[in-house]
Amino acid sequence: MPIYEYSCPSCEHRFELRRPFSEAGKAASCPQCHAPARKLLSLFTAFSKSGEGEASSVSGMDACSTCTATSCASCNIAS
């Protein structure tokens, strides 16, 4: 079952909902303030380590989705 990401324009809370494809377009309410939330575009990035231990993106994106760094040397990505 896919996970959809949402953002609340009222309180700026970001959250995820696991929903079947048949409910992908269904409206979502913020779990904190119950205002209507916006569905976000979810991006997927996978990382690979070279023989030398350097991490690199295999999806072609420059930054991971958890920070604004352009190098994984500054992130705490699990090995």
SS3 4: strand
Q: CA–CA separation, 66 vs 79, rounded Å?
A: 16
CB 74 within 8 A of CB 52: no
User: What is the tens place of the pLDDT at every residue in 12-29?
Assistant: 999 999 999 999 999 999
SS3 57: strand
For residue 41, pLDDT over 90 is answered with: no
Q: Helices (H) and strands (E) in the chain — how many of each?
A: 0, 5
Higher pLDDT, 77 or 24: 24
For residue 78, pLDDT over 50 is answered with: no
Mean local confidence (pLDDT), 54-79: 54
CB 45 within 8 A of CB 59: yes
